[in-house]
Amino acid sequence: MGKQNPALKPMADPRSPLWNSVRSADPTERTTPKGTLLEAVQDKNIRHGNLKNMPTFPEKSSLDEVHSALEAYHEPDLYILRVSGGKLDLKTCYVNLAIVEAPSHREVEKQELQEQAAVFHRITSFERVKNANTQSLIPLEQLFDRRKLRDGKELIPRRILVQGRAGIGKSTLCKKLVHGYQSGWWKDLFDAVLWLPLRQLRGFKSNTLEDLFREKVFIAQSRVQRQASLAEALVLCAERGKALFILDGLDEIVSDTGSDENKSFRLFLKSLLGQQYVVITSRPSGVDS
């Protein structure tokens, strides 16, 4: 075995900051740390004009870049459309939540929906939350505050189901949560917040978070490498438990999971609902399914 050339240092560990590439449109510019084996290979190719054999390096996205990309993804929908056609700023909107103390409310609501189907009548502008603790109204910014359970234990809510009939304000709540995070809520708890209307998953054939983020969330990014690097960074946030998933409209997608041919999608949806921090909205029919 020959002696190692002392002029060449070992290849950088892919987990090291040295691996992060310097993004450049000019292939002759350095994209590797000075003094590494990768630099030597690159310099040799540059000298001989052999740009086809230039090594490629993974592009990395910072949290700030992920935040900017998510804001661009959310921005077109972060408003409320008035009946007149005008847009209402989310700063002027509010949504009230209460903790439902008993599951019997679901049966009451199912009966009300059946009555509405039989005889059309105007739906009230608020939903009566029966069997709710009226002392437990929750300011949205306190949604993830530590809470005491009935058995005396304390925990931070991780999975929150928001159930209500059509038009009650579930999607408005989702928008308000995203807007609140962008305004400073929960910055110590989450590195990223993603609102995903679940109806967008119809026809989605893959079964990985990375593909979901690349194809549905960051698809507007101009470069494929950019989409991939942002998706990878958001996956890392989720794996560390630092991402909040706001999954809107479970009832709109649950019917697509019934057949055997949709088993792969059903398993993917289950894994999505099982993320460490999720807010799920649904009509009662989606919850019962």
Mind listing the pLDDT tens digit of every residue in the chain (289 residues)? 455 554 444 444 444 433 343 333 344 444 444 444 444 444 544 455 554 454 445 578 899 999 999 999 999 988 887 778 788 777 777 666 666 544 555 555 556 545 544 444 334 444 554 544 545 667 889 899 988 877 788 888 899 998 888 888 899 899 999 999 999 999 999 999 999 999 999 888 888 999 999 999 999 998 999 999 999 999 999 999 999 999 999 998 887 776 767 788 888 999 999 999 999 999 887 666 5
Both tokens of 227, joined, read 């989409």
On the CB side of 218, CA atoms within 13 Å amount to 28
State the residue for tokens 């993830």: 144
The domain boundary, picked from 58, 75, 103, lies at: 58
Rounded distance, CA 176 to CA 170, Å? 10
**163 and 199: one domain?**
yes
Looking at the structure, tell me whether residues 34 and 69 fall in a common domain. no
Whole-angstrom Cα distance, residue 289 to residue 275? Answer: 20
**Is 185 found in the same domain as 48?**
no
Q: Are residues 166 and 33 in the same domain?
A: no
How many CB atoms lie under 10 A from the CB of residue 286?
19
CA–CA separation, 232 and 277 (whole Å):
18
CA distance 205 to 277: 24
Count of domains observed in the chain: 2
Of 36, 58, 80, the position where a domain reaches its end is 58
Q: Are residues 112 and 183 in the same domain?
A: yes
Does residue 116 share a domain with residue 174? yes
Mark whether 134 and 168 lie in a shared domain: yes
Tokens of 73: 């993804």
Tokens matching residue 20: 């992060």
Specify which residues 154 forms β-bridges with: 148
Q: Which pair of structure tokens corresponds to residue 188?
A: 């110590």
User: Phi, psi (5° rounding) for residue 136?
Assistant: -110, 30
pTM beyond cutoff 0.85? no
Distances (CA, A) of 230 to 64, 77, 210: 10, 21, 9
Q: Are residues 110 and 253 in the same domain?
A: yes
Helical H segments across the chain, by residue range: 37-47, 63-74, 104-118, 170-182, 209-212, 224-239, 263-273, 284-288
With tokens 């110590």, the residue in question is 188
Cα 49 from Cα 40, distance rounded (Å):
14
Say if CB 174 and CB 281 are below 8 A apart.
yes
Domain range holding 35? 1-58
